[in-house]
Amino acid sequence: MNSIFHMALGDSACKRAIAYYRHSAEDKQENSVPIQREHARKFAQQHGIEIIHEEADEGKTGLLANRPGFIAIFDNWIENDSAPTFEYILVYDVSRWGRFQNQNEPAHYEFRCTMRNKKVIYIEDGFPKEDQMLIGSLQTAVKRYMAAEYSRQLSGKVFHGCVKVSEQGYSAGGTPCYGMARELLDEHKQPIRLLKRGEHKEISNQRVRFVPLNDETTQAVHDIFTMFVQENIDLSSIAATLNDRGIPSATGALWDRDKIVRILMNETYTGARIYNKTWNRLRQGKRDNPRDDWVICRDTFPPIASREVFDKAQEKLWFILGKWKQGRRAMKEARMLIFKAINDFFMNKGMTEDDLFFIYRDFPLVLSVSTDVSPTEKEWCFILPEELRNYEYVLGIGVLPQRSHPIDQFFVLPAESFGIGGICTFTDKDECYARYAISTEKLEENILVLAKALTQSSPPSIDG
């Protein structure tokens, strides 16, 4: 029997290996790290292999390669020329290596091992036979797909369960917003107590809901709506008032206009439970969802701001903060001027009128009135339409209604800076101003990059 193993492994008695184990929260007990370790050691003993090192990732999803143990086996062992000699990486099964959604990703990491003369061995499958390498590769590919599909199906089940819970007004996870807390309910939906950060329900038929914290932070939210809607106090003055009171913001830092806007645009404060504002399923990248995809259950707790007050706040944010009403004519004129410049620019480069039609229709452009908030400080408030959310960057133009030539300032704005509410507001004193503002000399170059992004999937590289 030993001679057979020696023939199959090429004198395996002299071989050495490192072992990698992974176990995530949703995995069953039979996939735990101790059980994987037991299988690996038994396999090694049967085949005369010495395990010289072990790495484990407990409670880590297999959707990503960004796991401490997984990174360590490459940095410290597989791709480290100073590491002790070994031939194999032992892994319990394909899913322990990862449940990558891109099927090229697990193969990529295996190829990196092959380039260093190391071979990944899946214990459940054993050593591949030399005369069945093609079949073995196909079986591994199928198992990779099945591992990824397991995560997709599980993600779908979890999502639909969260939707159902949210439609009933309960929390499906997440952190409460500023001024709010998580309240634990018993199986009869009666309040038990407020949960601390990191605490979770202990029984499956218990529920959690968001409620006002009823402390100074809740009062601050109430005062923000009151000052803005009923007392007509501007955003900067509201921020200054809260800072003078010594009330910290959600981050613990001082209040500013952007933080005030985020409070005023958060519909949760009307007593609504809102779920699915953002999308990050299967760790494929976070993005904001359109409002039509939100799950909203109203009147789940006593409101901090009434629906009437909240609606008036949205109206003021649109017409007063953005200065849309008084600057509408100037922005229309600015749009015509910039598209005429784009037309001349691309016509000189030989672009056809048909191509220009698509650029006019889809070009990522937003406008804002340039407002003097003090003798030495200027402010802009840009609103991102829903149809431009798929762009990584948009061209922002500040306009001045009182001038014959309304265009005042150019910006290249990351779409992510608009947040869920679709508003990006800043002044020329803010740190982000230097990153966003572009000179007239750089305008044509950036317009060309943004126009190219209309016909290609890769994100543009913006030069400010």
The pLDDT of residue 219: 94
Domain spanning 212-317: CATH superfamily:
Putative Large Serine Recombinase; Chain B, Domain 2 (3.90.1750.20)
The pLDDT of residue 55: 92
The pLDDT of residue 41: 93
The pLDDT of residue 52: 93
The pLDDT of residue 422: 79
Q: Do domains 2-151 and 212-317 have the same CATH topology?
A: no
> Which helix H or strand E contains 378, and what residues bound it?
strand 377-383
SS3 label, residue 412:
strand
Distances (CA, A) of 139 to 9, 89, 130, 230, 280: 20, 19, 15, 67, 30
The DSSP result for 69-87, as a single string, is HHHHIIIIIIT-TTSPP--
Q: Cα angle vertex 430, ends 252, 389, to 5°?
A: 90
Residue 361 one-letter amino acid = R
Record the pTM: 0.48
CATH classification (class only), 2-151:
alpha beta
SS3 label, residue 214:
coil
Distances (CA, A) of 132 to 108, 125, 139, 389: 21, 13, 11, 49
- State how far the Cα of 258 lies from the Cα of 264, in Å rounded to an integer: 10
Distances (CA, A) of 111 to 56, 57, 145, 237: 21, 21, 17, 59
Q: Is-contact 6 12, C-beta < 8 A?
A: yes
All residues at 6 or more sequence positions from 346 whose CB lies less than 8 Å from its CB, including other chains: 355, 356, 359, 451
DSSP-assigned letter for residue 385 = -
Q: Is 59 left (phi over 0), alpha (psi -120 to 50) or beta?
A: left
Which tens digit of pLDDT belongs to each residue from 152-201?
666 556 666 676 777 676 767 778 889 988 888 887 778 888 888 777 77
- State how far the Cα of 49 lies from the Cα of 289, in Å rounded to an integer: 51
The pLDDT of residue 11: 44
Which residues of the chain are modeled with pLDDT < 50?
1-12, 457-464
**Domain limits, the chain:** 2-151, 212-317, 325-452
